[in-house]
Amino acid sequence: MPIDKIFKDDASEEKGERARMASFIGAMAVADLVKSTLGPKGMDKILQSTGRGHSVTVTNDGATILKSLHIDNPAAKVLVDISKVQDDEVGDGTTSVVVLAGELLREAEKLVTSKIHPMTIIAGYRMAAECAREALLKRVIDNKENAEKFRSDLMKIAMTTLCSKILSQDKEHFAEMAVDAVFRLKGSTNLEAIQIIKKPGGSLRDSFLDEGFILDKKIGIGQPKRIENAKILVANTAMDTDKVKIYGARVRVDSMTKVAEIEGAEKEKMKDKVKKILGHGINCFVNRQLIYNFPEELFADAGVLAIEHADFEGIERLGLVTGGEIASTFDNPESVKLGHCKLIEEIMIGEDKLIHFSGVAMGQACSIVLRGASHHVLDEAERSLHDALCVLSQTVNDSRVLLGGGWPEMVMAKEVDELARKTAGKKSHAIEAFSRALVAIPTTIADNAGLDSAELVAQLRAEHHNEGCNAGIDVISGAVGDMEERGIYEAFKVKQAVLLSATEAAEMILRVDEIITCAPRRREDRM
């Protein structure tokens, strides 16, 4: 007797072959979507928001594209997730990871149709991934000891990362900036200390790195515009009268004088607060909330520079870099940690005035001011620079580097191929498939550059037959070239993360044999 219904209305269930196909196709479609952004000649996408304002984003960053997609295929969501994780972990390779996972699934699909059990495929993939990782480890270059060489490695990595982005034309300029900024961090991966400020106008080349911290705010009226040896109190407090936060609290009086007295008392309280703040012996006061006219005047009288309405991120970072703590009560001056910096002054970038804190306590801190034609350019530049910074800061910790331009994939593919030959049983098909998937990455890079991918990849494979070959695809000249000479380097950590997470994601999707879509939650019709 058939079971009538296990699920609710509207819930659906797909089984076996159908379920697998659905997830394969979904994942591959997502991979194909971002495929064209891969490599130095990858294209950009416009992301057009359907929300209010129809805002437009132009980007080349895989993670950004995937993050903003509408997706209702569960397998596709897995790919979006791995790209997000890649972004958080290492910052770069967000497109590669999705493309590789997509290729692995495409190969798996073929194997499944030729009646190989998904579990066998998974086992083969696992062996292949392990072997590929070993192959990479054998070929890594580590220049940790040689500081000068290490720096040039970092420059090359930065340039490789940037060359696929909008900053490609000024990549030396930006690579220099990114490397300088990361070196200032002295090994910490805390990118918070690097502040990126975007100011429209000028061109990308006008962007610069500045030591210290820049706050996009104005100094209050009648206050000093330049302070040396500043002692900074960073606060988050309301600078209007303290109010009783009980609804309906009110005072009853019977004459005007008394109202005036209350008003006077309120003013007095404000004055007290300012006095307490001044009692910290400061000459700069930065508040997250508004400073009203009255306290502003008091600060001006005391010759203190007061900055109001600094955004939350701004003051947190200011507190971090100047070594101060964000205060909200001022009764115990001794327990509050003040921030210090050598010089505060007003600077002008483009049409806007900004406040510059130089010689801050936390030496690592620096600001990168980006200039560019429009907001689109600036946003994309920020994303690209952020990628470069992430990769660099990771590489500073793990100094192993690899060559780029499809070189690692070819090295891995060769090793994996050899493994396939040695392995007996059905697994060897899966291992072979894995190698084919790896080769798909250089193929895509060549395709995107409008080159003859079949020809180039065949050449590359032949070159790699020789031991210790450095050949990769040089997209600029459109031929196979020596990657070491061209200075195309990638971080080992990025490649490893790409390899492992793509394999894991493929494995996860392969294991699926049933998709259950739950009935959507009923909503009140709001239209």
Question: In sequence order, what are the residues at sequence separation of 6 or more whose Cβ sits closer than 8 angstroms to the Cβ of residue 149?
Answer: 143
Q: How far is Cα 178 from Cα 366, in angstroms, rounded to an integer? A: 11
**Which stretch in 10-18, 123-131, 347-355, 392-400 sits in contact with another protein by CB under 8 A?**
347-355
SS3 188: coil
Q: Using CB under 8 A, pick the residue from 19, 36, 182, 495 that binds another protein.
A: 36
Q: Is 256 in the site for another protein (CB under 8 A)?
A: yes
Catalytic residue list contains 301: no
Q: Using CB under 8 A, pick the residue from 52, 115, 243, 522 that binds another protein.
A: 243
**Which stretch in 70-78, 382-390, 394-402, 493-501 sits in contact with another protein by CB under 8 A?**
70-78
> In the window 446-475, what residues touch another protein (CB under 8 A)?
449-450
**Which stretch in 25-33, 111-119, 323-331, 413-421 sits in contact with another protein by CB under 8 A?**
25-33
Output the six-digit token pair for 232: 């900074």
Q: How far is Cα 296 from Cα 223, in angstroms, rounded to an integer? A: 9
Of 59, 56, 29, 64, the closest CA to residue 42 belongs to: 59
Q: Which residue has the tokens 């659906």?
A: 12
Q: How far is Cα 423 from Cα 429, in angstroms, rounded to an integer? A: 9
Instruction: Map residues 111-150 to x or -, x wherever contact with another protein holds by CB under 8 A.
Output: ----------------------------------------
Q: How far is Cα 176 from Cα 151, in angstroms, rounded to an integer? A: 10
Cα dihedral across residues 344, 345, 348, 353: positive or negative: positive
Q: Using CB under 8 A, pick the residue from 1, 148, 255, 525 that binds another protein.
A: 255
In the chain the first and final C-alpha atoms are separated, in Å, by 43
The count of residues interacting with another protein (CB under 8 A) is 80
Of the residues 37, 57, 61, 444, which is catalytic? 61
Nearer to another protein, 372 or 408 (CB): 372
Instruction: Map residues 71-90 to x or -, x wherever contact with another protein holds by CB under 8 A.
Output: xxx--x--------------
Do residues 178 and 158 touch, judged by C-beta distance below 8 A?
yes
Q: Is 251 in the site for another protein (CB under 8 A)?
A: yes
Of 107, 94, 109, the closest CA to residue 35 belongs to: 94
Catalytic residue list contains 61: yes
Do residues 154 and 396 touch, judged by C-beta distance below 8 A?
yes
SS3 458: helix
Q: Is 248 in the site for another protein (CB under 8 A)?
A: yes
Catalytic residue list contains 120: no
Q: Using CB under 8 A, pick the residue from 77, 139, 151, 353 that binds another protein.
A: 353
In angstroms, give the least distance from the CB of 242 to another protein.
Answer: 9
Q: How far is Cα 314 from Cα 274, in angstroms, rounded to an integer? A: 22
Q: Using CB under 8 A, pick the residue from 1, 3, 6, 348 that binds another protein.
A: 348
Q: Is 293 in the site for another protein (CB under 8 A)?
A: yes
Q: Is 224 in the site for another protein (CB under 8 A)?
A: no
Q: How far is Cα 439 from Cα 298, in angstroms, rounded to an integer? A: 69
Residue 229 has phi, psi (to 5 degrees) of 45, 60
> In the window 38-67, what residues touch another protein (CB under 8 A)?
40-41, 43-51, 54, 56, 58, 60, 65
Of 123, 238, 174, 157, the closest CA to residue 384 belongs to: 174
Nearer to another protein, 119 or 262 (CB): 262
Instruction: Map residues 183-202 to x or -, x wherever contact with another protein holds by CB under 8 A.
Output: -----------------xxx
Strand partners, 208: 369
Render 148-159 in DSSP notation, one character per residue.
HHHHHHHHHHHH
Of the residues 57, 59, 95, 423, which is catalytic? 95
Q: How far is Cα 330 from Cα 336, in angstroms, rounded to an integer? A: 8
Q: Is 521 in the site for another protein (CB under 8 A)?
A: no
In angstroms, give the least distance from the CB of 328 to another protein.
Answer: 19
Of 145, 117, 307, the closest CA to residue 221 belongs to: 307
Q: Using CB under 8 A, pick the residue from 119, 137, 373, 516 that binds another protein.
A: 373
SS3 518: coil
**Which stretch in 86-94, 314-322, 366-374, 426-434 sits in contact with another protein by CB under 8 A?**
366-374
**Which stretch in 110-118, 151-159, 292-300, 334-342 sits in contact with another protein by CB under 8 A?**
292-300
Q: Is 345 in the site for another protein (CB under 8 A)?
A: no
Nearer to another protein, 163 or 196 (CB): 163
Q: Is 252 in the site for another protein (CB under 8 A)?
A: yes
Q: Is 518 in the site for another protein (CB under 8 A)?
A: no
Q: Is 356 in the site for another protein (CB under 8 A)?
A: no
Nearer to another protein, 153 or 447 (CB): 447
Catalytic residue list contains 95: yes
Do residues 403 and 160 touch, judged by C-beta distance below 8 A?
no
Nearer to another protein, 215 or 298 (CB): 298
Q: How far is Cα 325 from Cα 188, in angstroms, rounded to an integer? A: 20
Of the residues 87, 92, 170, 387, which is catalytic? 387
Query: From the CB of residue 298, how many other CB atoms can be counted at a distance below 10 Å?
Result: 20
Residues identified as active-site: 61, 94-95, 387
